[in-house]
A and B are shown apart, each in its own frame.
Chain A
Amino acid sequence: GAVVSQHPSWVICKSGTSVKIECRSLDFQATTMFWYRQFPKQSLMLMATSNEGSKATYEQGVEKDKFLINHASLTLSTLTVTSAHPEDSSFYICSAGPRLDEKLFFGSGTQLSVL
């Protein structure tokens, strides 16, 4: 099946620093990728839709200047958490699929801890 690779798996950073998370589709091209955040024991929350070659679409309440998304190629999207604070500590997951309305494959997730 299709594979989506996400790196890093976990990251610890100091408050005020920026963290970049990469999401790659390994065996298909993805014009669209999705970024989610999940707090412990809570539901998956869609943060934004990453569109290759154009601006990302952010869900209501998600700060686009804090969560920078770049989708520069058909196989790579990055999420940068800028000026991270402890409240940004969460599990971040990306997903992608060969078609928009078809099955999605998820990356393994990134556990971010901000000290």
Chain B
Amino acid sequence: QKEVEQNSGPLSVPEGAIASLNCTYSDRGSQSFFWYRQYSGKSPELIMSIYSNGDKEDGRFTAQLNKASQYVSLLIRDSQPSDSATYLCAVGFGNEKLTFGTGTRLTIIP
């Protein structure tokens, strides 16, 4: 069974600092990786996708993928209080549905 692991947190980060969120996955053949953000009482929204080893940057967000070590991370630079949310990691393999982690709750402290 494919597994995606995330530290549930809460992870507290001072405003303006870098927030680092990590995710590990069990299936070495996984091919697609996604980060979702979910505010309390709202549904998840896609913020980053990554498919190749290395870094992918989008504004204040950077996704990092290391297939050899089977982890994917999300860095949030210049953290803002509005970044406080639960972040979900999702992993895809072949023609199968995405597997989601349980999420990491992030709190940005003003």
* Contact indicator B95/A44 (Cβ below 8 Å): no
Q: How far is the CA of A104 from the CA of B93 in the complex (A)?
A: 13
- A interface, how many residues as a size bin? 20 to 34
Docked-complex contact A43 and B98, CB < 8 angstroms: no
Cβ distance A77 to chain B, nearest Cβ, rounded Å = 14
- A65 in contact (CB, < 8 A): no
User: CA A59 – CA B9 in complex, angstroms?
Assistant: 26
- B96 near A100 with CB under 8 A, answer yes
Report which B residues bind A (CB closer than 8 A): 31-32, 34, 36, 38, 41-46, 49, 88, 90, 92-98, 100, 102-103
Which residues of A are in contact with B by a Cβ distance under 8 Å?
1, 6, 32, 34, 43-44, 46, 49, 91, 93, 95, 100-109, 111
Q: Can you list 19 A-B contacts (CB < 8 A)?
A: A1-B46, A32-B97, A34-B97, A43-B103, A44-B38, A44-B44, A49-B97, A91-B41, A95-B44, A100-B95, A101-B92, A101-B94, A104-B90, A106-B36, A106-B43, A106-B44, A108-B42, A108-B43, A111-B41
